[in-house]
Copies of this chain bind each other. A is one copy, B any other.
């Protein structure tokens, strides 16, 4: 298990060794890809040796697995908090969409790694990640369906297709967003939420 103590030799640079390894690995994986990044590179950048890495992680795959676990857990909890909260379905949808955009932008490297590397993981790990992602998808879809019953979302669109439509935009963020660009995360979140909700909303006469 990963210790959270700050004592020990690893504290030299501030953060505990496992956290440093994950942070460095995320950065390198996002920049050059999982397969193009050697374990040696990671441990060099983290200022430790292979022995340290294999002391805390069982394999290179295990690094990614942990990166995924943290990211997906974070976002799922966030969605469920909003989705199960107060307000109309339309309100909660708007809040959830803007929130997931901002949250994705705040952890952009993790998202990029997930996008680019999920397909080359061992099948059982992939299945695990897919299951978590599916849970997320289902919760969002249910919110859209609730909007339809509520009368605020058009009845003639497929909630599944709408969900895919929106998550496409979210997953795509890593491809084009630059932190030094013109748009701030909040603006992007609100802009995408506005377009998405407007796209599925019933027209007000």
Could you tell me the distance between the alpha carbons of A121 and B74 in the complex, rounded to whole angstroms?
A: 31
Residues 182-205 of chain A: 1 if any B CB is under 8 Å from the residue's CB, otherwise 0? 010000100110111111110111
Question: Which residue of A165, A169, A204 has the most chain B CB atoms within 10 A of its CB atom?
Answer: A165
Could you tell me the distance between the alpha carbons of A162 and B169 in the complex, rounded to whole angstroms?
A: 10
Q: Closest approach, in angstroms, between the C-beta of A13 and any C-beta of chain B?
A: 28
Stretch at the interface among A20-28, A31-39, A88-96: A31-39
Residues 102-118 of chain A: 1 if any B CB is under 8 Å from the residue's CB, otherwise 0? 00000000001001100
Residue in B162, B171, B195 whose CB lies within 8 Å of A175: B171
Q: Closest approach, in angstroms, between the C-beta of A126 and any C-beta of chain B?
A: 11
A1 within 8 A of B: no
B168 & A172 in contact (Cβ 8 Å cutoff): yes
Can you list 10 A-B pairs, Cβ within 8 angstroms, ordered by A?
A: A34-B35, A35-B36, A35-B120, A161-B188, A165-B169, A168-B170, A168-B172, A195-B199, A195-B200, A205-B205
A32 & B199 in contact (Cβ 8 Å cutoff): no
B168 & A120 in contact (Cβ 8 Å cutoff): no
**CB-CB contacts below 8 Å: A6-53 with B:** 32-36
Could you tell me the distance between the alpha carbons of A158 and B191 in the complex, rounded to whole angstroms?
A: 8
A120 & B192 in contact (Cβ 8 Å cutoff): no
Please, which residues of chain B bring their CB within 8 A of the CB of A119?
A: 32-33, 112, 116
With contact pairs A168-B168, A172-B167 given, residues A157 and B120 touching in the complex (Cβ less than 8 Å): no
Interface of A is mostly: helix
B191 & A157 in contact (Cβ 8 Å cutoff): yes
Could you tell me the distance between the alpha carbons of A120 and B113 in the complex, rounded to whole angstroms?
A: 12
Q: Closest approach, in angstroms, between the C-beta of A163 and any C-beta of chain B?
A: 9
Could you tell me the distance between the alpha carbons of A182 and B117 in the complex, rounded to whole angstroms?
A: 28
B191 & A161 in contact (Cβ 8 Å cutoff): yes
A149 within 8 A of B: no
Please, which residues of chain B bring their CB within 8 A of the CB of A175?
A: 171
Residue in B120, B164, B183, B198 whose CB lies within 8 Å of A32: B120
